[in-house]
Amino acid sequence: MEIHKKIVVGQIDHTYLSSWKSDNEVELHRGNDVVMFTMTEDVMEQLHKKLGDKLTKLAAERLEAAQQLAQEEPSEDE
């Protein structure tokens, strides 16, 4: 038998991953609520890649928006 549970906490305030313990325990905090879990190194690598891809995409979108805004603004010489 498999048991599945989904926990919805909304936007988290901060995260914690111990740098001195080797149990790979992750904490997600929202106010006084904490979700704790562990993950294997393989799963950490997958998460690292997905976060990196997401952050790269966000940075590219912001750069493009800034470039468009800079082109739309009239220069001070005009």
36 occurs within a structural domain: no
In a domain, 2, yes or no: no
Question: Is 22 within a domain?
Answer: no
Answer yes or no: pTM beyond 0.85: no
Nearest in space to 31 (alpha carbons), one of 11, 46, 8: 11
Considering the domain boundaries, does residue 68 fall inside one?
Answer: yes
Total domain count, the chain: 1
> Please, which residues have CB within 8 angstroms of residue 8's CB and are 6 or more apart in sequence?
none
DSSP secondary structure, 21-54, as one string: -SS-EEEEEETTEEEEEE--HHHHHHHHHHHHHH
Domain with 51 in it: 41-73
Structure tokens at 3: 């048991």
Q: How far is residue 46 from each of residues 25, 51, 56, 57, 74, measured CA to CA in Å?
A: 16, 9, 15, 17, 44
pLDDT digits (tens, 9 = 90+) for 14-61: 999 988 888 889 999 999 999 999 999 999 999 999 999 999 999 999
Query: What is the pLDDT at residue 5?
Result: 87
- 23, part of any domain: no
